[in-house]
Amino acid sequence: MKRICLFPGTFDPVTLGHVDIIDRAIPLFDKIIVGIGLNTSKAPMFSAEQRLQWISEIYKDEERVEGAVYEGLTVNFCKLIGAHFILRGIRYVSDFEYEKTIADANRTMDKSIETIFLTGEPKYTSVASTIVRDIIRNGGNAEPFLPEVVSKSFQR
C-alpha cells in the first residue's frame, strides 16, 4: 500500500511556512497531494488555478508532490484519492487545539485516516497567509514570507 498523504488548506497564497511543512514531509510519504480546499464561506485573494499553478511550479522537480483542488469534506477527498494520512502544520499551541478538534472529527467519520502534525520551523511561525494577504493588500513587501515563484508572479 502506498503512503498517500493529503495536505489540505487554502494556500491563499502559498507561503514559506507551507513549503517548509511539505518539504519536511516528503521523506515520510510516497505521495503528497496538496489539496486546495474551496470554502464557500471564504473569498480568496487568488484563484484556485493560480494557487494550483504555484504548487506545480514549486514542486515541478519533485514527483512525489502534486496539487489538486477539491470541495466538500476532507475525509471524502481522502477516500477519492486513496489517502490514509492528513498532514497539518502546527505553529502554536492554539493551532494544535484547533487542529486536534478537526482531526478528532475526521477520525470519527473515517477511522482509516490518520492526521499527522508537523511543527513549523521557528523562523516561519509568524508566516500566515492571512497576514501575507494583508501585507499585499496594503502595498507592503511580502517577499520575505513567500517562495520566489509566488512573489515573482506579483511582479508580472
How many Å separate Cα 155 from the centre of its chain? 23
The type of residue at 102 is: I
Closest C-alpha among 32, 28, 53 to residue 147: 53
* Catalytic residue positions, numbered: 18, 42, 91, 129
Q: What kind and span of H or E run contains 66?
A: strand 65-71
CA distance 135 to 130: 9
